[in-house]
Amino acid sequence: MKGFEYLKEELQNMKGEGTFRSLVPLESDQGAKVVIDGREMIQLSSNNYLGLTGHPKMKKAAIEAVEKYGAGTGSVRTIAGTFTMHEEFERKLAEFKHTEATLVLQSGFTANQAILSSILTKDDVVISDELNHASIIDGIRLTKAARKIYKHVDLESLEEALKESADYRKRLVVTDGVFSMDGNIAPLKEIVELCEKYDALIMVDDAHASGVLGSNGRGTVDHFGLNGRVHIQVGTLSKAIGVLGGYVASTQEVRDYLIHKGRPFLFSTSHPPAVTAACSAAVDVLLEEEDLIDRLWKNTEFFKQGLEKLGFDTGKSDTPITPVIVGDEAKAHQLSDKLRDYGVFAQSIAFPTVARGQARVRTIVTAQHSEELLQEALDAFEKAGKELGII
Ligand SMILES: *Cc1c(COP(=O)(O)O)cnc(C)c1O
């Protein structure tokens, strides 16, 4: 079909630069090992931290929900698409998060869009960490509020932005709880103290902390003992929780407001019964199977130390996300390709997802990996790293 020659040209350029990447379809479930191109490999690239995508209790809950309530809901939440299970789950999630209320959205991405686009006006300002997730950046693009960007996890830069913005009606400081490309945790206690000092609202996006940090995986707010001091928590049900969805955990007013003004909530259909039932079962799993989180952290320590001992640069991660920083983009892709030859699936990530010269292979271990499997992966890293002169 004629008309897209201009896109073709751009794609061609991407291929020339080596930035064009094909999708990699899995032929198995999302386990510690996956099948790609007919070959079994160790999976080190998923966000399935606790292995919940295949948890038997969650699969059973999903199947039962389909049998009883069907495959879909047939409406947006505000018209005819709210089922009792949606509201029951939101109450359960609020209790779990120690917040007054929650509202579930289709994804973490849309949760950020809903909250950021709705609660601020041109009289307000949003103050955002420079390395916040794309969904926060896009949410900010949708608000008429003024914006300020502070240097990554830099408290002085944040305080400066707070000082400069005294004249606005409301100030909202936004940060990721765990940064997805480096695996570092935001200094939330200090950020909250600054927000309290300057009477600013604080919002934390805990996508990579949900199910990972805090008691039973409640997130960074719980991890730092800050329950009741963070105005808005955004979480995802798509990563460690193993299903799909996002939520805003906050006050009853914020929930009520989003039901009226949150555009993804108003104009996009609600979660199918299988999704909500599986998410609800996941909260039970978090409460009942604390050993999953213990195993995740044990594996994290084992794997991180292994990589460091081999001499790789693993940056400043304090979570199960461990980047292997290579620097050169082509070399990072080569490392990923070699690892794949040796039976390890660990994707390389380059500009624009990370800064130029910071290309890396990003790894995430899960509770499901056995130590033997992780040792096998470390052996592959050693072999590939030596062959490429990285270590
Ligand atoms: C993954 C991620 C999201 C998006 O969550 P989904 O549920 O996958 O849409 C939002 N924020 C952060 C920080 C993330 O890492």
Per-residue confidence band for 352, with pLDDT thresholds at 50, 70 and 90: confident
DSSP letters of 163-176? HHTTTSS-EEEEEE
Averaged pLDDT score across all residues of the chain: 97
Q: Which helix (H) or strand (E) holds 13?
A: helix 5-17
Per-residue confidence band for 183, with pLDDT thresholds at 50, 70 and 90: very high
Q: Is the pTM of this model over 0.85?
A: yes
Atom 1 of ligand 1: nearest residue by CA position: 207
- The whole-number average pLDDT for the span 197-204 is 98
In this structure, are residues 229 and 99 in contact, taking their beta carbons and an 8 Å threshold? no
Per-residue confidence band for 17, with pLDDT thresholds at 50, 70 and 90: confident
State yes or no: pLDDT of 19 exceeds 90: no
Catalytic pick from 180, 210, 270, 317? Answer: 180
Q: How far is the CA of 391 from the centre of ligand 1 (A)?
A: 32
State yes or no: pLDDT of 335 exceeds 90: yes
In this structure, are residues 218 and 230 in contact, taking their beta carbons and an 8 Å threshold? no
- The whole-number average pLDDT for the span 116-133 is 97
Q: Which helix (H) or strand (E) holds 352?
A: none
- The whole-number average pLDDT for the span 237-263 is 98
Structure tokens at 244: 């799909």
The dihedral sign for the CA sequence 139, 213, 325, 348: negative
State yes or no: pLDDT of 18 exceeds 80: no
Contacts of 257 (CB under 8 A, 6+ apart): 118, 119
- The whole-number average pLDDT for the span 106-135 is 98
Per-residue confidence band for 188, with pLDDT thresholds at 50, 70 and 90: very high
Predicted pLDDT of residue 353: 87
The single-letter DSSP state of residue 155 is H
Catalytic pick from 97, 133, 223, 239? Answer: 239
Condensed to tens digits (0 to 9), the pLDDT of residues 300-322 reads 999 999 999 999 999 999 999 99
Contacts of 386 (CB under 8 A, 6+ apart): none
Q: Note if 208 is an active site residue.
A: yes
Condensed to tens digits (0 to 9), the pLDDT of residues 83-96 reads 999 999 999 999 99
Per-residue confidence band for 164, with pLDDT thresholds at 50, 70 and 90: very high
Strand partners, 349: 360
Strand partners, 360: 325, 349
Atom 15 of ligand 1: nearest residue by CA position: 207
Condensed to tens digits (0 to 9), the pLDDT of residues 136-149 reads 999 999 999 999 99
Sole residue written with tokens 């096998």? 376
Q: How far is the CA of 9 from the centre of ligand 1 (A)?
A: 31
Q: Note if 180 is an active site residue.
A: yes
Give the C-alpha separation, 116 to 137, whole Å.
Answer: 9
Q: Which atom of ligand 1 is nearest to the CA of 180?
A: 15
The dihedral sign for the CA sequence 238, 69, 94, 216: negative
Q: Note if 369 is an active site residue.
A: no
In this structure, are residues 178 and 319 in contact, taking their beta carbons and an 8 Å threshold? yes
- Return the C-alpha torsion angle 258, 62, 28, 317, nearest 10: 40
Task: Give Dmax (Cα) for the chain.
Answer: 60
Amino acid found at 257:
Y
What residues flank ligand 1, with Cβ below 6 Å? 107-109, 112, 133, 135, 176, 180, 205, 207-208, 236, 238, 246
Residues of the chain with pLDDT > 90, as a percent, come to: 96
Predicted pLDDT of residue 82: 98
> Which parts of 185-224 fold into alpha helices (H)?
188-197, 220-223
Task: Select from 205, 116, 196, 190 the least CA-distant residue to 157.
Answer: 190
Atom 12 of ligand 1: nearest residue by CA position: 207
Give the C-alpha separation, 36 to 215, whole Å.
Answer: 35
Structure tokens at 313: 């640069």
Q: How far is the CA of 383 from the centre of ligand 1 (A)?
A: 33
